[in-house]
Structure 1
Amino acid sequence: MSLYLMIAVIVICLILEALYSGGEVALFSSDINKIKYYASKGSSAARQAVRLKEHPEWFISTALIGTNLAIIAASTLTTGLLIKTFGAKQGEQIAFLILLPTLFMIIIIRSIFQHYAEAMAIRVAHFIRLSSYIFYPLAYSVAAISRG
């Protein structure tokens, strides 16, 4: 894989991780009455967000699957890129270079999504819903287990 393609895929994975992780926080933190208000005004994304909030096990399972897949893919590709660049004997530096930016990104993204919870929940609702169809077999299993 070329260097530019690898970097592009890593960036896409980080964006997906931000959407899943941030979407989970936004849907949890948002006020359902405010979202219902936007849904009553005709917003289809707000209607999706209301459906997701009414069935939290569904969006949680989808968000967790998406977040984990994105983090695993980004970490694996980043590790390969850093090993190719610095060599295999630089283990501690490689781990540090992977974990620190990822940790800060997750904290910053979650804070932003929590601060603007209703707006972000509405913005990511279609994405989470589409992802739930893509991850359907896994998401259904996780949701069924969480329901008891």
Structure 2
Amino acid sequence: MKTTHRDNWRVVVEITPRAREIRATALGFADLDYHLNGRLTGEPFEMTFAPRRLGDLGAGLSVSDRLAGRDLDAAYRARCEEMLAALLREPHVRSGRVEVDEQHVCSHCDMRWEELTADEAADGSTNIDEPSVEGEPVCCDKSIDEFRAERGIPLPDWTVGAS
């Protein structure tokens, strides 16, 4: 069936420069504080923060993320939520969110996961047989068989049209 892979965890915050004084050095512009008179002004902008790898133990020590924890997604989510909470305590941070890239693939064929839409299931030209339903995978025979068996839907006759 469908498996989900998550990668590229990050915290995105919206910063409002004119809400309070913000030192340019805090944003990585080391030599601008004198020229800016200690203030950054302008429209709000977004800044993205990436968490340190779970396996990064500091002081140059590193292990595989898999050795650092069992549930990597939960650990990265917790780390990002902690970062977000700390960032939201800053007066110039207006709002924020945790983001992650997700990729859904079939556990049988490793193809990108796709399902029949309601319109496709109703259209005889886009499904494999009459019992096809919305949500049915379209990637491989094994995933279709598994989906249908779980729901009590008759399995397709894969021998029809075979010679």
TM-score scaled by structure 2? 0.28
Higher strand share: 2
**Structure with more relative contact order (C-alpha pairs < 8 Å, separation 6 or more):** 1
TM-score scaled by structure 1? 0.30
Higher helix share: 1
